[in-house]
């Protein structure tokens, strides 16, 4: 019975947190992870799930549409070929030169392995791979 009450409270809290910060991937990920963890593993599962969800929510938070449009419309910078697979959430090699996105200093882009890639310039993490 206690697990059902706890799970219900966790779901309610996650709903409120998600509605309050619908644009924030970290909060949404943490709330979703906490709910899933609570249902599966109780209070300890909620804590572990919340941390894992926050990490995943941050990694997959997509850039605004105007950033995507800007990157798609720009002439391609010098393409770079790297051996590593380009994956969202993973850092891009230091050899890749980043081109900043005007008015959005938290995004840069490059053409890597014939793909346009949007990157967080502070961490060099791939935010999105455009087709």
- Tell me what pLDDT residue 77 has: 84
What are the residue boundaries of the structural domains of the chain, listed by start?
A: 2-59, 65-130
Q: Is residue 43 a contact partner of residue 37, using CB atoms and an 8 Å limit? A: no
Task: Give residues with Cβ within 8 angstroms of 74, minimum separation 6.
Answer: 99, 109
3-state helix, strand, coil in the chain (%, to 5): 50, 20, 30
Local structure of residue 108 (DSSP, 8 states): E
Task: Give residues with Cβ within 8 angstroms of 73, minimum separation 6.
Answer: none
More confident position, 130 or 48 = 130
Residue range 20-65, pLDDT digits in tens: 433 445 554 555 555 555 566 667 655 555 555 555 555 558 999 9
Q: Is residue 86 a contact partner of residue 111, using CB atoms and an 8 Å limit? A: no
């Amino acid at each position: 019975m206690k697990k059902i009450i706890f799970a219900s409270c966790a779901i309610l809290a996650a709903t409120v947190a998600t509605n309050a910060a619908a644009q924030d991937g970290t909060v949404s990920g943490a709330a979703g992870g906490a709910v899933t963890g609570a249902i599966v593993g109780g209070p300890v599962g909620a804590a572990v799930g919340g941390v894992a969800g926050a990490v995943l929510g941050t990694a997959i938070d997509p850039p605004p549409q105007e950033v995507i449009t800007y990157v798609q419309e720009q002439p391609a910078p010098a393409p770079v070929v790297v051996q590593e697979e380009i994956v969202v959430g993973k850092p891009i090699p230091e050899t890749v030169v980043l081109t900043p996105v005007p008015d959005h200093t938290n995004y840069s882009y490059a053409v890597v392995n014939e793909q346009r890639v949007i990157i967080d310039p502070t961490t060099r993490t791939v935010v999105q791979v455009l087709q």
